[in-house]
Structure 1
Amino acid sequence: MDAAETNDMPGFADLRLRPELLKALTDLGYEEPTPIQRESIPPLLDGRDLLGQAATGTGKTAAFALPVLQRLDDGERGNEPFALVLVPTRELAVQVSEAMHKYGRDLGARVLPIYGGQPIGRQLRELERGVDVVVATPGRALDHIGRGTLSLKGIRIVVLDEADEMLDMGFADDIDAILQDTPEERQTVLFSATMPPRIDGMARSHLREPVRIRIEREAPAAGEAPRVRQSAYIVSRSHKPAALGRVLDVEAPTAAIVFCRTREEVDQLTETMNGRGYRAEALHGGMGQEQRDRVMNRLRAGTADLLVATDVAARGLDIEQLSHVINYDVPSAPESYVHRIGRVGRAGREGVAITLAEPREHRMLKTIERVTRSRITVEKVPTVADLRARRLELTRAALEESMMEDGDLDRFRVVVETLTDEFDLMDIALAAVKLAHESTGAAADEEEIPDVEPRPERRDRARRDGPGREERRARRHAGGMTRIFVGAGRSAGVRPQDIVGAITGETTVGGRDIGSIEIADRFSLVEIPEDAAQEVIYALRKTTIKGKKPMVRLDRDEAPRRR
């Protein structure tokens, strides 16, 4: 069902929640439920299975956390958990666990996050002591189930949060295995930002007559600007670092995430931006949990203002001061774009989403616009004149703020009075502004970034090849796809999901980034993003597929393109 607007919006008190939960919500400053909470909480309290679609940042966590906590026993609780929440990443596991702790503090809720990268000893001790709710990544949950340290016999509620992301990361088989260990009479809740066919298939397999809820992002009122301003700049690859710096200088974000495709690109761009004077931090799957926590603490504390990250590392992050998301490359799938820009414009805050597109990627921008039904305005890269004007505006704002504060300016009066004996007051003011402006580190000069035009569509080829083949060509061309050879095929029992799972489990490439997969008797051919080819080849050579380490290399037909 689609959420319908009503003039009689229920508050949290009208949703039949326990007094302890209402008190926690009041203490946290929650005034009224969001649409996804308003639509989801009543059927969940009635014990119904639920399939919910809502964008990131719309309040999904409270939508399932409050009904879960509502069912906590008031008396003696056992050691086994009664609820299991599965999430795709360690960051989201921590975020959901912290939220449930806050909501359930007056109920004494015992909530435990379990995920890879954290010492398992602490998790074992807490599980032995007894927990009510486990928030887990699928891999670590299976690890504990295999060890016999996590029993699912008493599970009454299972929540699959960000289900589309879990499928993209190759967790489909893990989720199936976990759910098989839970009681059949359990209540199952599935939330997803997007609803591809695979999610519908999962719902049919594991949910019983679910209530279906779909919440669109709230449209701005008439005359209001969109909550997330979306724009793009067409720029050649060689000028991307300079264009990124120019955009950051003009936009002056409070804090920003820059998304890159690969770990190598993250590390390289972070070094480049730090060399240009920005306080940039890298975040990707190759970093340990302790490193990642340090990076996030620096960002939240304001000692860093630019996070350069891969999709995998940035999933599930909620940074309050984040104002801008920048796609250093056009995402290879519209769903990835949706998840990226969902980092801003959360909880009523305004945000900006900017994409740096190469001429060949312009077509993919149009695809994203069509699928997301949103407008991405293509703008000109700011010029040197634009940059100078913006820097002067920031200097003026800083001076205005200084004069409006109750600071002690009188101690500088003697300097001004002494100079007025020899110079005009306006000249003194201009010299002072010049010193203030130059102290900000504003560059005296900059090179212009040349304008480039989007690459035209090749309609003649579309007519010759037919729609199916041209669609594949366009995807490879727009997304920068290439093909790798994997020396294992049908005779070894290899299936497409085995290859997808190996790639998404060992690299930063998501499931939607992978193109066509052709499986022959003795080998397989897989389309992947060109920028990630070496990362994927290196990772697959070190892992096993169906118990064997296959030969992996660039497909010979693709090799000439990369020379």
Structure 2
Amino acid sequence: MTMNATGGEGTFAELGLRSELLDVLSALGYEEPTPIQREAIPPLVEGRDLLGQAATGTGKTAAFALPVLQRMLHSGGDAGPATLVLVPTRELAVQVSEAFHRYGRILGTRVLPIYGGAPIGRQLQALRRGVDVVVATPGRALDHIGRGTLDLEGLRTVVLDEADEMLDMGFADDIEAILAATPEDRQTVLFSATIPLRIDGIARRHLRDPVRIEMGHTAAEGRQTTPLVEQSAYLVARAHKPAALGRLLDIEAPTAAIIFCRTRDEVDQLTEAMNGRGHRAEALHGGMEQEQRDRVMSRLRAGTADLLIATDVAARGLDIEQLTHVVNYNVPSAPEAYVHRIGRVGRAGREGVALTLVEPREHRMLKAIERVTRQRIPVGRLPTLADLHTRRMELTRVALEECLLQDDLEHFRVLVESLTDEFDLMEVALAAVKLAHESSGAALDEEEIPEVAPRTVEKRRGQRETARDGERRARTPAGGMARLFFSLGRSAGIRPQDLVGAIAGESSLSGHDIGAIEIADRFSLVEVPQAAANEVIAALRRTTIKGRRPTVRRERDTRSGRTR
């Protein structure tokens, strides 16, 4: 059974969720389910197995978390976990655990993330007290199973999240071992951005008559977005998104822009942040009365507001004549939503600009949008402080030109003449320009926004090309990196993904933090950030790779005897 996630409009109430969960979603500001949620939640609530093709940013965490919590309401309070969620990295384990906690707090759901680099004593204490949901990296989950501290006897649901990434990181054997230790009558849910043969093989072996959901194979395929819309995307970490948005708006200077957010809370927080930066921003979401909505639209159409920050639901049907820019503060949950959003500019011959802020983990979803729209979305460089300074100086110059052309300056002549008795005329002009520039809010009191790289399988593979027998091995690590020596190599069956999986699973690093990997016959060399080298060495003393415990240390410089 295969479903294409193209479902129409709907509400969470129509998906059969309990009132407690609906209240939580309403309080969090979620107004409607994403396509993957519309298609996945009903069969998962019924207990069906599911194979879903969906990238980060589509709402898949809620797609499996809500049904898990729904079924848990009927399960009683056993000590052992009812649900095990396997994820590739420590970072994702934390994110998924936080999501379960948000949705399940009112139900008293006990959630425990298990990953390397965290004190195992706390994990053991929590497991002894009893948990409902365990979110774990495969290596650490298998470690607890081997210790007998993770009891899977009462397990009802297993979720494999980002399964293709787990396989790319070398966790295939661990996943097979974990699934073999779970009850045969469990519900199994597998989400993956792609469905290669290895994923299909796992699904055939471990899923029973699964519902299949494929995101992106939709009726919108082949639709072309209007050429009058100039599209671009910017990679930015979540913590820096408000600053990145503010900087882009300063550079673009839109006549009017609509900024799309996922939830009501995000709308309210971003509206406050943009107003704090000197913009005239108004919020629009489903939690507002019609009278409030009408006032907001009146301000926008009258030009007393230039930013409308809204959810998709609240913005439906709006046609704003002076709209010049559309901003996706998050990558939309489906390609169709992207097409619909950017179609709000470039109408009736008007040119428009569409900007999208992309978190590193959302890069796959951007690629899915490109496939569906059959258009490339260029990934641009965020403006630097120097760019911002240049743009603000240009705006100051334009404002001064307009003032000079208005010919109503005679009133200030006496003041200028009195100042020139004491100061040079150029110095007076410079001081006046400085005051005008600073009064526009143009003081540079910001920091540079750090660059980030997309978390794509292709990039990770490119970073970890194996140098056979060290033939192409550079003797100096990249700047800011330390090279670690591992006492295992090709003769032990070690592959780049095995080393990446061990490091990402046991330390605070994620896959994209790891640099070049070189595998020789009896040893391997891995570049990691200098500041994290000691943490990685300490974390890997307690783990095994391919069943063997490696010696891990900084590489020694054979010429000087020093470590790097």
> TM-score, normalized by length of structure 1?
0.54
Deviations along 1:339-380, whole A, 9 cap, x unmatched? xxx99425689624699xxxxxxxxxx9x9889955144889
Tell me if 1:375 matches 2:352: no
Q: Which residue of 2 aligns with 1:485?
A: 469
What one-letter code is carried by the residue in structure 2 that aligns with 1:392?
A: M
What one-letter code is carried by the residue in structure 1 that aligns with 2:503?
A: E
The answer (yes or no) to whether the contact 2:464–2:515 under 8 Å persists in 1 is no
Q: Which residue of 2 aligns with 1:345?
A: 331
Q: Which residue of 2 aligns with 1:505?
A: 502
Deviations along 1:513-542, whole A, 9 cap, x unmatched? 9999999xxx4899999999xx9xx98x99
The answer (yes or no) to whether the contact 1:159–1:189 under 8 Å persists in 2 is yes
What one-letter code is carried by the residue in structure 2 that aligns with 1:159?
A: V
Q: 1:475 to 1:249 in 2, by over 3 A?
A: closer
Q: 1:10 to 1:154 in 2, by over 3 A?
A: same
SS of 1:213's partner is: strand
Cα displacement (A) at 1:151: 0.2
Equivalent residues in 2 for 1:224-373, closer than 5 Å: 229-230=232-233, 252=247, 344-345=330-331, 351-352=356-357
Q: 1:118 to 1:4 in 2, by over 3 A?
A: closer
The answer (yes or no) to whether the contact 1:230–1:375 under 8 Å persists in 2 is no
Distance 1:164 1:60 in 2: 15
Q: Which residue of 1 aligns with 2:184?
A: 184
Deviations along 1:323-352, whole A, 9 cap, x unmatched? xxxxxxxxxxxxxxxxxxx99425689624
SS of 1:212's partner is: strand
Distance 1:477 1:548 in 2: 24
The answer (yes or no) to whether the contact 1:87–1:93 under 8 Å persists in 2 is yes
Tell me if 1:19 matches 2:14: no
SS of 2:10's partner is: coil
Q: Which residue of 2 aligns with 1:195?
A: 195
Equivalent residues in 2 for 1:337-486, closer than 5 Å: 344-345=330-331, 351-352=356-357, 374-377=375-378, 389-392=390-393, 419-420=415-416, 422=418, 427=429, 429-433=432-436, 440-441=443-444, 481=465, 483-485=467-469
Q: 1:33 to 1:150 in 2, by over 3 A?
A: same
Q: 1:549 to 1:145 in 2, by over 3 A?
A: closer
Cα displacement (A) at 1:116: 2.2
The answer (yes or no) to whether the contact 1:395–1:436 under 8 Å persists in 2 is no
Equivalent residues in 2 for 1:127-142, closer than 5 Å: 127-142=127-142
What one-letter code is carried by the residue in structure 1 that aligns with 2:232?
A: R
Cα displacement (A) at 1:501: 1.0
Q: Which residue of 1 aligns with 2:4?
A: 3
When the two structures are aligned, how many residues end up with a matched partner? 390
Distance 2:95 2:120 in 1: 19
Cα displacement (A) at 1:102: 2.1
SS of 1:155's partner is: coil
Equivalent residues in 2 for 1:103-122, closer than 5 Å: 103-122=103-122
> TM-score, normalized by length of structure 2?
0.54
SS of 1:229's partner is: strand
What one-letter code is carried by the residue in structure 1 that aligns with 2:184?
A: E
Q: Which residue of 2 aligns with 1:273?
A: none
Q: Which residue of 2 aligns with 1:85?
A: 85
Distance 1:80 1:480 in 2: 39
Q: 1:221 to 1:35 in 2, by over 3 A?
A: farther
Distance 1:146 1:398 in 2: 70
SS of 1:88's partner is: coil
Q: Which residue of 2 aligns with 1:67?
A: 67
What one-letter code is carried by the residue in structure 1 that aligns with 2:214?
A: R
Q: Which residue of 2 aligns with 1:310?
A: none
Q: 1:484 to 1:225 in 2, by over 3 A?
A: farther
Q: 1:510 to 1:144 in 2, by over 3 A?
A: same
Q: 1:55 to 1:18 in 2, by over 3 A?
A: same
What one-letter code is carried by the residue in structure 2 that aligns with 1:375?
A: R
What one-letter code is carried by the residue in structure 2 that aligns with 1:252?
A: R
What one-letter code is carried by the residue in structure 1 that aligns with 2:41?
A: I
The answer (yes or no) to whether the contact 1:162–1:192 under 8 Å persists in 2 is yes
Deviations along 1:372-431, whole A, 9 cap, x unmatched? 9551448899999976642325768999xxxxxxxxxxxxxxxx8994462599947434
The answer (yes or no) to whether the contact 2:157–2:187 under 8 Å persists in 1 is yes
The answer (yes or no) to whether the contact 1:93–1:115 under 8 Å persists in 2 is yes
Cα displacement (A) at 1:438: 11
Q: 1:205 to 1:525 in 2, by over 3 A?
A: farther
Distance 1:477 1:72 in 2: 39
Between the two structures, name the one with larger relative contact order (CA 8 Å, sep ≥ 6): 2
The answer (yes or no) to whether the contact 2:85–2:158 under 8 Å persists in 1 is yes
Q: 1:373 to 1:488 in 2, by over 3 A?
A: farther
Q: 1:198 to 1:189 in 2, by over 3 A?
A: same
SS of 1:485's partner is: helix
Deviations along 1:157-201, whole A, 9 cap, x unmatched? 001112122222222222111111100111100112233332222
Deviations along 1:21-42, whole A, 9 cap, x unmatched? 1111111111111000001011
Q: 1:551 to 1:74 in 2, by over 3 A?
A: closer
Distance 2:76 2:384 in 1: 68
The answer (yes or no) to whether the contact 2:393–2:437 under 8 Å persists in 1 is no
SS of 2:195's partner is: coil
Q: 1:175 to 1:435 in 2, by over 3 A?
A: same
Distance 2:383 2:129 in 1: 59
Q: 1:518 to 1:372 in 2, by over 3 A?
A: farther
Cα displacement (A) at 1:60: 0.6
Q: 1:489 to 1:92 in 2, by over 3 A?
A: closer
After TM superposition, the structure 1 stretch with the greater mean CA deviation from structure 2, 199-208 or 426-435, is 426-435
Aligned sequence identity (%) = 51
Distance 2:124 2:48 in 1: 32
Cα displacement (A) at 1:229: 2.2
SS of 2:189's partner is: strand
Q: Which runs of 5+ in 1 are unaligned?
A: 233-247, 255-300, 303-341, 356-365, 400-415, 443-473, 555-563
Q: 1:224 to 1:92 in 2, by over 3 A?
A: farther
Q: 1:98 to 1:434 in 2, by over 3 A?
A: closer
The answer (yes or no) to whether the contact 1:12–1:32 under 8 Å persists in 2 is yes
SS of 1:51's partner is: strand
The answer (yes or no) to whether the contact 1:164–1:195 under 8 Å persists in 2 is yes
Q: 1:418 to 1:132 in 2, by over 3 A?
A: farther
Q: Which residue of 2 aligns with 1:209?
A: 209
SS of 1:104's partner is: helix
Distance 1:112 1:530 in 2: 28
Distance 2:25 2:172 in 1: 34
Distance 1:477 1:183 in 2: 35
Deviations along 1:72-103, whole A, 9 cap, x unmatched? 14574211111111112222222222222222
Q: 1:224 to 1:127 in 2, by over 3 A?
A: farther
Equivalent residues in 2 for 1:529-544, closer than 5 Å: none
Deviations along 1:213-238, whole A, 9 cap, x unmatched? 11139979955998972489xxxxxx
Cα displacement (A) at 1:6: 5.1
What one-letter code is carried by the residue in structure 2 that aligns with 1:144?
A: H
Q: 1:396 to 1:127 in 2, by over 3 A?
A: farther
Cα displacement (A) at 1:476: 13
Distance 2:73 2:441 in 1: 64
Distance 2:103 2:182 in 1: 25
